[in-house]
């Protein structure tokens, strides 16, 4: 796929060769990759862009903090930027490719130990390469009564990237940024900091209490290039005694917007822990190929979605989630939820009552909101032809904003001939929703690829202008997104960057921090 | 109380006079205080120490961000350190006195606007000088269905200090650090940063979504001297449909330790939102003077507590809290809680059943866990003679640690002739408890004052050595506490400090950051 090797910016071939020799002496020859075919996995993009903008000069895979420290010394000496990845499968946003060309990918997949699980407190200490599958296997093997917060493609990704990229989960814990405690971070100069209670000798609370004493620095290492996180404390979710997956159908976006407000109130009242509101296009895209259902030009018209829904006995919009707890808690909360959803016109149903075409959607909701691991969500990339990129502006949990954001996205997508496929995911406090939307396109069609890129950029701008900014951005969109957050944040980030990484060797361009 | 004025470190009397003239030109003569009697309120300490170590050179009270910016320019010019306070009543930890002598207190009490309350999302934007009383009056006046997280002395303190000092509340929200969204911060050079979504023009989610894009910097301004926070987004708690205050009595510390574990599990199962476990000494100290119940030397012996308890028909230890929710939720959760507490030997009772001496305690618990504002908790300072300082090491939510921490504290306190008065407050995730303990002493007895200081220091050291470090420290203990968190955190804080405040004019010594 790649045609020609690239060098680190400003470095001669000879100097790079000298640096590679030093890197090899640290990790061994086989863990320094520079051949073009070896670098292909580190060059893929989800959001369409010119691959040359993101081609790495190589990749290096250390196995310990000590090796990372030595790699940093070499990188500081030669000024070779390091683009750190954990499992490197940030599907939907960026995969493993660096923000700018010529960076060396620092691949931490080999550091994959589950260092400790506290069976009483339900906490775990993990290294960057640990996957959710591995964590689940560990919990099963040790018969520990815990689940964990996880994203949709959980089997092949891991808690480190999920946490550091501020992913959104669907269990009781939802926003992962609220649910971790303590890090070990290697700074650009090789110094190691254990945050929070981890600084205290013999601390018994590194994973139990997250805030420590004095300024809380952990936030600095989220969506960041200010350090390399090598250990992370996770809060596991206690396995609930029981759970019931539910859904409420709504005929149109106005109903969906009412559901957003209702979920907000129910969350603030402690009735639900999680919840989402989504368009039926999501379910269709998961199970069908677009070419089989629509031949016309442009986006699938609203009327056709309504027709598909009617034929299948489904509604165009649904709210859904899973209620967890002791059976008597579930019963009471489910009754409040049912009454609330019916009051705003929702057709309420639980997993016990479902049958027919809705079962597929129910299984999917149940899978992502419980501890099942599945790659079924990946089927969505087949809808149009291998291409897809997530796009999730943040909205306040108000009907008017749910409506306005949907209409904005729908209009822009239609303009470029793409379908609206997505929904709204409730945030931790109930006060915001992620308007999670996936732009699906045919990766093998150059014209469509270019159109997708233009559309994605237009979506970012148009939503931001309406007050709905992204909380996460694919690699090609990082600079644009950081610009949207304004000059003051940019200037502060630049000062922090210069203080902690004066040679700018850690992932330049990450989150728009150059 | 103060005898002699002090100057900013390294500044001549003449230069200071010149600086004062410039300060006065900014805020007006009446808002620059240098007379010793005017400075007395800014010189008080809770944790005993030599007042000369904390005497300010003056105080200045601006009314706007623009005035703060101009004050910073003067302070940078003359290198006059500014010790920022919001309401300045950090009772139990530090009040308003600076960490080192010769600082100018930057008193933000006049900036006391409630800028905005979103009646749908339940968020508020407040300035530093806003008190909880003011916030409650606002909510009542506008008939808004919200409560808020608050500390015990809520009427006279405010949400800004409570949040920035990482206070612990007792409503549904408990740990305040989990429950705010967005700040406006003035940096030492006068630049203003709005964090999170606040950087986005027309952002609709500044108070709704806390994490923004890129590194999360808000944590840097908690327990910190890296900036001056001038606006803060609060998450208010939706007023619950109903609530019931409960308690469970335990005969001894072993029972109390079992209650700690049970509360942890119930919290992780979503049965309780809050909870505490406390010794009866706390209730006694609130309502009686020590001299009336004990004349002997040294600490009150265990046997005497048991006797007092028996006589009053109380137990030495209690677990307690308030269950919130719709009546049917409260009923179910209360039943689970009652069964759980009885299983571990607790005598369970609710506010509906209470009578006799236990009523006083119940009223106190109900007051601090609901939206009532009261200063009753201050009565505790009368127990021994005006003196008192809180001390709260963090423990993992395990019986063995609750027991070990109690025994350690009890031993040290006894050694110095002080009574153990305190308990354990559950943290946000249920995985840690604050071992909140108050060292009460006679402030007018110089020997006892000195003994209290020695005892407090010994408590900090002994608990830390056992793995239980403080999450908060009184001004005289800041350096010691920061030392306990080790050299790596200290070095990182120092780098951040130099990057953001190269002249070190913001509150040197705060949280041990010089």
SS3 A512: helix
Q: Does B511 touch chain A (CB under 8 A)?
A: yes
- Contact criterion met (CB below 8 Å) for B423 and B436: yes
Under DSSP, the state recorded for A300 is P
Task: Give the phi and the psi of residue A124 in degrees, each rounded to 5.
Answer: -140, 150
Q: How many CB pairs below 8 Å do chains A and B form together? A: 312
**Start-to-end Cα distance in chain A:** 27
Q: Which residues in chain B are closer than 8 Å to A396, comparing Cβ atoms?
A: 118, 121, 204-205, 208
Q: Do B205 and A395 touch (CB under 8 A)?
A: yes
Q: What is the pLDDT of residue A415?
A: 97
Helix B253-268 vs helix B327-343: crossing angle, to nearest 10: 140
Per-residue pLDDT band at B162 (split at 50, 70, 90): very high
Distance from CA of B42 to the nearest CA of A (A): 22
Whether A112 has its CB under 8 Å from any CB of chain B: the answer is no
The set of residues, in sequence order, having a beta carbon less than 8 Å from that of B81 and lying 6+ positions away, is B8, B9, B75, B98, B100, B102, B103, B104, B504, B505, B506, B507, B508
Q: Is A187 on the interface with B (CB under 8 A)?
A: yes
In whole angstroms, give the CA distance from residue B246 to residue B277.
12
Average pLDDT over residues B80-109: 90
Following DSSP, what letter does each residue of B365-430 receive, concatenated?
A: HHHHHSS----GGGGGGGTTTEEEEEE-BEEES-HHHHHHHHHHHHHHHHHTT----BEEEE-TTS
Q: Give the mean pLDDT of B349-361.
A: 90
Asked whether the beta carbons of residue B336 and residue A328 sit closer than 8 angstroms, the reply is yes
Question: Token digits for B231?
Answer: 């606006």
β-pair type (B58-60, B104-107): parallel
Residues of chain B neighbouring A493 (CB-CB closer than 8 A): 214-215, 217
For the domain made up of A114-238, the CATH class stated in words is alpha beta
Closest chain B residue to A498, measured at CA: B499
């159908």: which residue's tokens? A249
pLDDT at A45: 83
| CATH 3.40.462.10 segments of chain B | 242-370+393-469
- CA dist B446 to B60, B452, B454, B457, B476, Å? 32, 10, 12, 17, 17
Task: Provide CATH 3.30.465.10 ranges for chain A.
Answer: 114-238
In the CATH scheme, what is the code of domain A242-370+393-469? 3.40.462.10
How far is the alpha carbon of A435 from chain B, nearest alpha carbon, in Å?
13
Tokens 């976006």, located at residue: A253
* Statement: residue B180 has pLDDT above 80: yes
- Distances B73 to A81, A177, A426 between C-alpha atoms, Å: 37, 36, 44
Question: Residue A1: its pLDDT value, please?
Answer: 60
**Judging by beta carbons within 10 Å of its beta carbon (0-12, 13-18, 19+), is residue A288 exposed, middle or buried?**
middle
Contact B213 A324 (CB under 8 A): no
Distance between CA atoms of A257 and A404, rounded to whole angstroms?
Answer: 10
Instruction: Using a CB–CB cutoff of 8 Å, tell me whether A496 touches chain B.
Output: yes
**Model pLDDT, residue A159:** 96
Q: Does A395 touch chain B (CB under 8 A)?
A: yes
Which chain A residue's Cα is nearest to B227? A215
Report yes or no on whether pTM surpasses 0.95. yes
As given in the structure block, the two tokens for residue B404 are 């070990």
Low-confidence ranges of chain A (pLDDT < 70): 1, 92
One of 3.30.43.10, 3.30.390.10, 2.40.110.10, 3.90.1300.10 is the CATH number of B13-109, namely: 3.30.43.10
* pLDDT(B335) > 90: yes
Identify the sign of the CA torsion A44, B200, B208, B176. positive
Measured in angstroms, the CA of A454 and the nearest CA of chain B are apart by: 22
| A207 in reach of chain B (CB within 8 A) | yes
Confidence of residue B100 (pLDDT cuts 50, 70, 90): very high
Which chain A residue lies closest to B482 (C-alpha atoms)? A213
Chain B, window 419-478: residues with a beta carbon less than 8 angstroms from a chain A beta carbon: 427, 429, 431-432, 464-473
Burial class (CB in 10 A: 0-12, 13-18, 19+), B9: middle
For B277-303, the pLDDT digits (tens) are: 999 999 999 889 999 999 999 999 999
CATH topology of domain A13-110: 3.30.43
Residue in A203, A222, A484 closest to B469 by CB: A203
Contact B133, B155 (CB under 8 A): yes
Chosen for mutation from B181, B214, B472, B481 (greatest number of chain A CBs closer than 10 Å) is B214
pLDDT in tens, B19-55: 999 999 999 999 999 999 999 989 988 888 888 999 9
Query: For residue B166, which residues of chain A lie inside 8 Å, CB to CB?
Result: 211
**B201·A486 Cβ contact <8 A:** yes
The candidate with the shortest Cα–Cα distance to B333, out of B407, B285, B275, is B275
- Measure CB to CB from residue B496 to each of A207, A215, A466 and give the nearest one: A215
Contact B199/A499, CB-based, under 8 Å? no
In chain B, which segments carry CATH 3.30.43.10? Answer: 13-109
- Partner-chain residue, chosen from B194, B205, B467, that has the shortest CB–CB distance to A432: B205
Task: Name the residue among B377, B362, B320 with its Cα closest to residue B154.
Answer: B377
Q: Does A501 touch chain B (CB under 8 A)?
A: no
Give contacts of B 115-154 with A, CB under 8 A. Answer: 118, 120-123
Q: Are the C-beta atoms of A222 and B212 separated by less than 8 Å? A: no
Residues of chain A with CATH 3.30.43.10: 13-110
Whether residue B213 and residue A397 make contact (CB cut-off 8 A), yes or no, is no
Chain A residues inside the 8 Å CB shell of B238: 265, 268-269
Interface contact B205-A485, CB threshold 8 A: no
- Could you tell me the pLDDT band of residue B1, with boundaries at 50, 70 and 90? low
Q: How far apart are CA A109 and CA A127, in angstroms?
A: 9
pLDDT tens digits for range A53-82: 999 999 999 999 999 999 999 999 999 999
Query: Is pLDDT above 90 for B356?
Result: no
- B458, two tokens: 């010994």
Q: Which residues share a beta bridge with B388?
A: B440
B329 in reach of chain A (CB within 8 A): yes
Q: Does B179 touch chain A (CB under 8 A)?
A: yes
A270 to B489: CB separation less than 8 angstroms, yes or no: no
The helix (run of H) or strand (run of E) holding residue A238 is strand A237-238
Mutation for A interface: B173, B183, B211, B502, most A CBs within 10 A: B211
């Amino acid at each position: 796929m790649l045609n020609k090797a690239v060098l680190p910016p400003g470095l001669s071939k000879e100097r790079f060769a000298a640096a590679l020799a030093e890197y090899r002496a640290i990790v061994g020859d086989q863990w320094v990759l520079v051949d073009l075919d070896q670098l292909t996995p580190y060059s893929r993009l989800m959001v369409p862009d010119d691959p040359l903008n993101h081609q790495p000069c190589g990749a290096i895979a250390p196995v310990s903090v000590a090796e990372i420290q030595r790699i940093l010394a070499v990188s500081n000496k030669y000024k070779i930027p390091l683009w750190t990845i954990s499992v490197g499968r940030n599907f939907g946003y960026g995969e493993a490719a660096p923000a700018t060309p010529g960076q060396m990918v620092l691949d931490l997949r080999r550091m994959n130990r589950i260092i400790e699980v506290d069976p009483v407190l339900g906490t775990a200490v993990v290294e960057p390469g640990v996957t959710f599958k591995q964590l689940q296997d560990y919990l099963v093997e040790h018969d520990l009564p815990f689940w964990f917060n996880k994203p949709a493609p959980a089997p092949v990704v891991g808690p480190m990237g999920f946490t550091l990229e501020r992913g959104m989960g669907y269990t009781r814990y939802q926003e992962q940024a609220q649910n971790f405690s303590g890090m070990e971070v290697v700074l650009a100069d090789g110094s190691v900091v254990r945050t929070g209670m981890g600084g205290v000798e013999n601390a018994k609370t590194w994973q139990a209490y997250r805030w420590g004493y004095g300024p809380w620095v952990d936030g600095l290492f989220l969506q960041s290039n200010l350090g390399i996180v090598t250990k992370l404390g996770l809060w596991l979710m206690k396995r609930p005694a029981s759970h019931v997956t539910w859904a409420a159908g709504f005929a149109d976006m106005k109903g969906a917007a009412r559901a957003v407000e209702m979920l907000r109130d129910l969350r603030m009242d402690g009735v639900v822990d999680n919840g989402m509101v989504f368009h039926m296009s999501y379910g269709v895209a998961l199970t069908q190929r677009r070419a089989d259902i629509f031949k016309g030009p442009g986006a699938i018209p609203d009327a056709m979605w309504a027709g598909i829904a009617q034929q299948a006995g489904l509604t165009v919009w649904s709210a859904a989630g899973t209620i967890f707890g002791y059976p008597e808690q579930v019963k009471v909360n489910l009754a409040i939820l049912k009454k609330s959803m019916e009051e705003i016109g929702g057709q309420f149903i639980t997993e016990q009552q479902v049958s027919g075409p809705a079962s597929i959607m129910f299984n999917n909701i149940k899978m992502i909101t419980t501890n099942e691991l599945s790659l079924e969500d990946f089927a969505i990339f087949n809808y149009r032809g291998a291409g897809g990129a997530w796009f999730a502006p943040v909205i306040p949990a108000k009907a008017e904003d749910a409506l306005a954001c949907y209409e904005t996205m729908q209009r822009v997508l239609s303009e470029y001939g793409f379908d609206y496929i997505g929904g709204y995911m409730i945030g931790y406090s109930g006060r915001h929703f992620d308007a999670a939307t996936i732009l699906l396109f045919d990766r093998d069609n150059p014209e469509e690829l270019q159109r997708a890129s233009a559309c994605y950029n237009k979506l970012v701008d148009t939503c931001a202008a309406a007050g709905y900014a992204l909380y996460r951005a694919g690699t090609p969109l990082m600079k644009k997104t950081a610009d949207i957050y304004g000059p003051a944040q940019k200037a502060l980030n630049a000062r922090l960057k210069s203080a902690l990484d004066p040679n700018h060797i850690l992932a330049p361009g990450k989150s728009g921090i150059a």
